[in-house]
Structure 1
Amino acid sequence: METRANYIIIGLFTLAVIAAGFGFVWWFNGSNSRGPRASYDVVFSGPVSGLQTGSAVTFNGIPVGEVTRLRLDKEDPRKVVATVAVQPDTPVKSDTRAELDAQVLTGLASVGLIGGSATATPLPTPTEGQLPRIEADASAVQDLMQGARQVMGRVDDIARRVDDLLRDNEGKISSVIDNVDKFTTVLGNNADTINGLITDVGAAARRIDQLAGNLDKTVTSVEPDKVRAIVDNVAQFSTQLEGMTSKVNAILDNVNGLTSGEEGKGMFNEIAAAAAEVRKLAANLDTRTAELTANLNEFTGPGLRQYQALAVDGRRTLAEIERVFRKLESNPRQFLFGGSSVPGYTGR
């Protein structure tokens, strides 16, 4: 029985300590919420990540209340309305501004009220059944988080595009890498040739530098007086050309008068008649030439072949005649009487 009594005492003591702890926490957290409260609606134009019912409300950094309700604006769903309850002596006036104070590490958020001037007027009296409204400003942390999300979204989009580009052009990239490998291999195998080429280029550069120096010396050695004399001669030549312009104009006028006068017209008529005769003579010559060409073509065609056959037959006939004469000359008796000899006469 004594042992059981000790266990009961220890258990009761443990429960008392736990209840005292809970009571202290409730007293510590709820000390500010006890007593009368003034409620306001704080309107946020955007997301309120980390803000929840029971989140703290501060005024110039001092805790003055908590968030009692969160809801969407009925007129504009993009806006969030947070109902806050603060101590009645909190100087909330018409120029009081609100913002969302977010804790980057914990992710929790609170509503921060920033006081205005002492001479500012109180908030306007709302309609019946409504609470006074405070329009919240975008906090620096909220802007930073939103900007970070946008940047991360863009980075993710760029990474996705790069991945798609690499995937679609994997074969081409492999081909480029192979070509680079081949090119470096060729460069390694022809290192001596490349070194010789670089040496030749260096020698050519030195020669160009030397040539430029010689050209500079040549330009420097030119006497300015001679250059002036050449320029003066060119100017004099131009002046002489200007003086000859009148003579050229006079010659052209004479030629124009000759061609437009009666004598000129008669001379050009005679020239035209002579040209017509020359064209007629050329036409006749062309006709004669065509006839001669046709005759020559006719002769060189079938006429030439007939002449060749006639010549062959004539040569053959002459050969027969020559053969007959040779027989007559060698044995005229045989040619006249035939046979091998003249028949003998026996007298019978």
Structure 2
Amino acid sequence: MEPRAHHLIIGLFTILAFGAALIFSLWLAKSSADRDWAYYEIVFNQAVSGLSEGNPVLYSGVQIGDVLELKLDPENPGQVRVLVRVDQTIPIRKNTKAGLVLANITGSMNVQFSGGSPDQPTLEGSRDNPPVINAEPSAFNSILANSEQLLAKADQLLTSTNRLLSGDNIENLSAILQNTREATDALLSRREQLSAMLERFDSAGRRAEEAAIKVSQLSDGASELLQTDGRRVLESMDKTLDIIYTTMARIDQLILANQGAMDSGLQGMGELAPALRELRATLRNLNQFSRRLEEDPTGILFGTDTMKELSK
């Protein structure tokens, strides 16, 4: 009897649970049917992967409706038109924004409204003529698009890496590394010479620094000399030039004052020119006579040779 009583209790409990679930479903369907809805058509200019009919419609994270229909625009298949219904008591205003949000890790998407200023008018419409809202690009779609570009670039990088690591390039790289190692070994074997060379460079650098210091000192001394003695020399030259200018002015005045006497003196010098020529001819004759006298004094004194006067 006891096993039958247990089976009866379990069966009765199952029937009651099924009836309660059925009553709850009917009540929920009735409350949903009795609810007043507002309808809106949201236009998406990008893919709406993960969005399907029946997915929730949220407003700032709170469910206010669901998705009724998805279809492509016949004139522009790149656009997706999504018909949603929203609780009529929730105001959807002119500046309310719509977009997609990730529902769960499986990739399911929900429609979400956000924003909307109280001073903006409320969108009105019916299911047959719903107001149109242009959706904004979702952050998730942007991430997907960027991830696709990133994967494409990663694939290009891997392809380039494979080309770089080809057999010929690996051999060339090995040869370069071998040459580098040999050069390093050669430098290490001559490190003493390199150290001596570096010391000479250091010594030359110190001498160059000392020479630069001396040149700088000489330049400072020359600059100081030009600023002191050079200035005095220039001042003396200015004074000398002033004296020369004064003297020249006085000479000009003197010439102007004695212009007549100077003209008379020059005229007298012009009259002396013929006398000077006669005197020059006489001197030439005397020189010729003295030479002949030295060469043949007897012939000159007792001979018949007559001295001829040289022409001028």
What's the TM-score bracket when you normalise by the shorter of the two chains? Answer: 0.5 to 0.7
For residues 240-297 of structure 1, give each alpha carbon's deviation from its aligned partner in whole angstroms, at most 9, with x where no partner exists: xxxxxxxxxxxxxxxxxxxxxxxxxxxxxxxxxxxxxxxxxxxxxxxxxxxxxxxxxx
Alignment of 1:229-268 (within 5 A): none
For residues 93-143 of structure 1, give each alpha carbon's deviation from its aligned partner in whole angstroms, at most 9, with x where no partner exists. Answer: 4333211122475533211123534454454768x9554322111234433
Question: Displacement, 1:83?
Answer: 1.8
Equivalent pair of 1:54/1:68 in contact (CA under 8 Å): yes
Give 1:39's aligned residue. 39
Q: Could you say which residue in structure 2 is the equivalent of 1:205? A: 205
Question: Which is worse superposed, 138-147 or 187-196?
Answer: 138-147
Residue 205 (structure 1) shift: 1.0
Is this contact kept in 2: 1:94–1:120, CA < 8 A? yes
Residue 275 (structure 1) aligns with: none
Query: Where does residue 301 of structure 2 map in the other structure?
Result: none
Contact kept? 1:46, 1:78, Cα under 8 Å: yes
* Distance in 2 separating the partners of 1:205 and 1:32: 96
Instruction: Give ranges in structure 1 of 5+ residues lacking alignment.
Output: 234-348
1:49 corresponds in structure 2 to 49
Check conservation: 1:40, 1:133, Cα contact below 8 A: yes
Say whether residues 1:169 and 2:181 are aligned partners. Answer: no
In structure 2, the CA distance between the partners of 1:61 and 1:213, relative to structure 1 (3 Å rule), is same
Aligned to 1:62: 62
Task: Name the TM-score, length of structure 1 as normaliser.
Answer: 0.53
Residue identity matched to 2:218: T
1:193 is aligned to 193
Q: Could you tell me how far apart the structure 2 residues matched to 1:101 and 1:59 are?
A: 11
Matches within 5 A, 1:264-283: none
**1:35-91 Cα deviation digits (max 9, x unpaired):** 343332211110223322221102243311111222222221112222212223332
Match of 2:256 in 1: none
- Within 5 Å, which residues of 2 pair with 1:196-345? 196-222=196-222, 223-224=225-226
Q: What is the aligned-residue RMSD (CA, Å)?
A: 3.9
What CA deviation, in whole Å up to 9, does each residue of 1:202-227 have, x standing for no partner? Answer: 11111111221222233334332677
- Identity, % of aligned positions: 28
Alignment-derived partner of residue 107 in structure 1: 107
Deviation at residue 188 of structure 1 after TM alignment: 2.4
Q: What do residues 5-39 of structure 1 show as CA deviations (whole Å, max 9, x unaligned)?
A: 53454356457557867987x68987984434333
State the SS of the aligned residue for 1:3: helix
Question: Which structure is higher in RCO with an 8 Å CA cutoff and minimum separation 6?
Answer: 2
Measured against aligned partners, the alpha-carbon deviations of 1:295-345 in whole angstroms (never above 9, x if no partner) come to xxxxxxxxxxxxxxxxxxxxxxxxxxxxxxxxxxxxxxxxxxxxxxxxxxx
- Alpha-carbon distance in 1 for matches of 2:193, 2:56: 79
**Structure 1 pair 117/219, CA: closer, same or farther in 2 (3 Å)?**
closer
Q: Name the CA distance, whole Å, in 2 between partners of 1:29 and 1:148.
A: 42
Query: Is 1:158 matched up with 2:140?
Result: no
Matching residue's letter, 2:138: S
Corresponding residue number in structure 1 for 2:75: 75
2:142 is paired with a residue of what secondary structure?
A: helix
Structure 1 pair 166–129 and aligned structure 2 pair: CA distance change class (3 A): same
Distance 1:163 1:51, change over 3 A: same
Letter aligned with residue 10 of structure 2:
I
Residue aligning to 1:132: 131
Could you tell me whether the CA contact under 8 Å between 1:101 and 1:109 is conserved in 2?
yes
**Corresponding residue for residue 310 of structure 2:** none
Change in 2 beyond 3 A, CA 1:180/1:53: farther
Give the letter aligned to residue 209 of structure 1: E
SS in 1 for 2:211: helix
**Structure 2: runs of 5 or more not aligned:** 238-312
Paired amino acid for 2:156: D
Q: What SS does the aligned partner of 1:82 have?
A: strand
Work out the CA distance in 2 between the residues paired with 1:28 and 1:5. 33
The alpha carbon displacement at 1:199 in A equals 1.6
Contact 1:91-1:115 within 8 A present in 2 as well? no
1:180 aligns with 2:169: no
Residue 141 of structure 2: aligned partner: 142
Q: Which residue is 1:326 aligned to? A: none
Distance 1:2 1:135, change over 3 A: same
> Aligned-pair distance for 1:195?
1.8
